[in-house]
Amino acid sequence: MRTHASAVALTAAAVLALGPGAVPSAAATTGTWTVRPGGAVSAKAGKTVLTDTKSGNSLTCASSGMSGMLKAGRGLAGTGIGSFTIAVYRCPTPIFSYHLTPRGLPWHLNVISYDQQTGAARGTISHLQLAFKIPEIFCSAVIGGSGGAASGGTVAVSYSGKTGQLKILTAGRTLHWYHVHNCGGLIADGDPATLSASYAISPPQAITSP
């Protein structure tokens, strides 16, 4: 974990990672989509990184997971093609307990573009909110969208039907930190936040357009 030179800094560096850049709006979705088989899905990731891109401080969670539903069939709209109703983050450390708790569920999966050659769909997860806490030092914060703590943030994603991997990309996001309390100056209100992870989707899905 990268930190600044202080004991508090060594304990409080906690941030989700998604690189700077604009995220395409789900409303920009064009065309129709086919999803097979659809239905209930689970998503499991190993390393999941939360980063404050202004301070550079980051936290690596050992694993994370999501579960939810995908629509099934042909002629589907890309907006709201799926949703995640459960999200879990496991961020063990040798000394302190970092807690990352999902808010604003369900989070919405939207698909925007499709590459016929690679078989990859790109889109967003929207309405994403998180609460962050280090109980031992009473550090807490909320991660929301650019409109404030209560607004849903957006991250850019890609899904490969060939590998069954859903990746949260570092090239786009609207996440920011809010209501930062007692975190040693490592994060600040309004700082941009990014999230990075690669999820194995089960059962694997074929998401194509048209």
Per-residue CA distances from 125 to 51, 66, 92, 172, 185 (Å): 18, 12, 25, 11, 29
- Domain around 169: 7-208
Amino acid, single-letter form, for residue 207 = I
Q: How confident is the model at residue 160 (pLDDT cuts 50, 70, 90)?
A: very high
Could you tell me if residue 65 is inside a domain?
yes
Q: How far apart are CA 91 and CA 63, in angstroms?
A: 7
Could you tell me if residue 2 is inside a domain?
no
Least confident range from 26-35, 108-117, 167-176, 186-195: namely 26-35
Could you tell me if residue 171 is inside a domain?
yes
The model's pLDDT over 66-81, given as tens digits with 9 standing for 90+, comes to 999 999 999 999 999 9
As for how many domains the chain has, the answer is 1
Could you tell me if residue 72 is inside a domain?
yes
119 Cβ contact list (under 8 Å, min separation 6): 160, 161, 162, 208
The model's pLDDT over 169-187, given as tens digits with 9 standing for 90+, comes to 877 779 999 999 999 888 9
Say if residue 7's pLDDT is above 90.
no
Could you tell me if residue 1 is inside a domain?
no
Could you tell me if residue 121 is inside a domain?
yes
Give the pLDDT of residue 95.
Answer: 74
The model's pLDDT over 40-94, given as tens digits with 9 standing for 90+, comes to 999 999 999 999 999 999 888 999 999 999 999 999 999 999 999 999 999 887 7
Say if residue 11's pLDDT is above 60.
no
Give the pLDDT of residue 151.
Answer: 84
Structure letter (DSSP) for residue 192:
B
Could you tell me if residue 143 is inside a domain?
yes
90 Cβ contact list (under 8 Å, min separation 6): 61, 62, 63, 64
Q: How far apart are CA 96 and CA 107, in angstroms?
A: 28
What mean pLDDT is predicted for residues 100-121?
95
Could you tell me if residue 81 is inside a domain?
yes
